[in-house]
Every structure is written in structure tokens, then in C-alpha cells.
């Protein structure tokens, strides 16, 4: 078998979208024909020419532990939430307190993002302008990746 002609089996899926915080609610929303697009309300958006968006249905801060969430860009937080759901959906269950070893060649993941890390970039640019270079987070570059 050549490396370009491999059989791939999807064993678990995960999602966090404007329609739902997991695959079940996202799928339900798709089947019902719902839209995740909502009007943007508040003074912050008053001067914008477009005031609609498709915000995520779940705030990652409600799902992830705060110390972990602080080290990740918002896009990476969503990726982690979906990856954990896919992992659980695949039936992964490690014994309590143990990391089950998985052979790297037996595990794959597909993650999609339009532009990950831009929130961190913009936030840290504001910090740079307002407070100076010493106040920029040392986690900025890892959070962008």
C-alpha cells in the first residue's frame, strides 16, 4: 500500500460552532435549518458598517479551566474543546491518573480555522500601544500558533 492510498477511519468527531457547543447540537441546528448569525448589539458595534456575526454558541471560559484557557488564544480554545469531544466520541478512556499511550502513527486530527490567533494579536497590539513592550504577554507567539 502506498502512503497516498491509505484507508482512514473516522472514530470520533467534535465541534463547537455558532449552532452549538458540540456535534449533537450543531447537527440538530443544521437539520432544523437554523442560522448561527445574530445581530451585534451594543455601543462597541454602533459605528461598524456590518453589525451581524456568527458568534460561538459556547464561551470557552465556561468549559476550560481558567489557567489553561489563559495560555491559549480563543481559536485554540475552541479547537481544544472540539478535540476533547472527538477524543471522547472515539471511546478514549484512560485509567484515572494515567495517560494511555497512543502510537503517533495511529492518530490523526483535522482542525479548521479561518484565521486563528488574530484575537491575541490585536489584544497584544493594544497592550503594546497603551502600556509598552514590557507588558506584552510572553505567551503571545505560542498563542498565535
- pLDDT tens for 120-144 read 888 899 999 999 999 999 888 877 7
Q: What is the number of domains present in the chain?
A: 2
Say whether both 79 and 28 belong to one domain: yes
Alpha-carbon distance values, 37 to 16, 17, 18, 51, 81 (Å): 15, 11, 7, 10, 21
| Full residue range of the structural domain in which residue 119 is found | 115-145
Note the residue count of the chain.
145
Residue 43 resides in a domain: yes
Residues paired with residue 39 on neighbouring β-strands, in sequence order: 52
Say whether both 137 and 71 belong to one domain: no
Residue 5 resides in a domain: yes
Say whether both 138 and 71 belong to one domain: no
**Rounded to two decimals, what is the model's pTM?**
0.71
Check pLDDT > 60 for residue 1.
no
Alpha-carbon distance values, 22 to 58, 84, 118 (Å): 9, 10, 23
C-alpha torsion 13→96→63→139, nearest 10: -100
C-alpha torsion 107→113→118→119, nearest 10: -90
Say whether both 11 and 80 belong to one domain: yes
pLDDT tens by residue, 58-82: 999 999 999 999 888 888 899 999 9
Say whether both 41 and 89 belong to one domain: yes
Q: What is the pLDDT of residue 11?
A: 85
Say whether both 64 and 29 belong to one domain: yes
Amino acid at each position: 500500500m502506498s502512503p497516498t492510498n491509505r484507508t482512514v477511519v473516522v472514530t470520533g468527531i467534535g465541534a463547537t460552532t455558532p449552532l452549538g457547543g458540540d456535534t449533537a447540537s450543531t447537527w440538530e441546528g443544521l437539520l432544523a435549518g437554523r442560522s448561527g448569525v445574530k445581530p451585534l448589539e451594543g455601543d462597541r458595534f454602533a459605528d461598524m458598517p456590518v453589525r451581524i456575526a456568527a458568534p460561538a454558541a459556547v464561551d470557552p471560559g465556561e468549559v476550560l479551566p481558567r489557567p489553561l484557557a489563559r495560555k491559549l488564544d480563543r481559536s485554540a480554545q475552541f479547537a481544544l474543546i472540539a478535540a476533547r469531544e472527538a477524543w471522547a466520541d472515539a471511546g478514549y478512556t484512560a485509567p484515572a491518573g494515567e495517560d494511555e499511550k497512543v502510537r503517533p502513527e495511529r492518530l490523526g486530527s483535522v482542525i479548521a480555522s479561518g484565521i486563528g490567533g488574530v484575537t491575541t494579536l490585536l489584544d497584544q497590539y493594544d497592550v503594546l500601544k497603551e502600556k509598552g513592550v514590557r507588558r506584552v504577554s510572553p505567551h503571545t507567539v505560542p498563542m498565535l500558533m
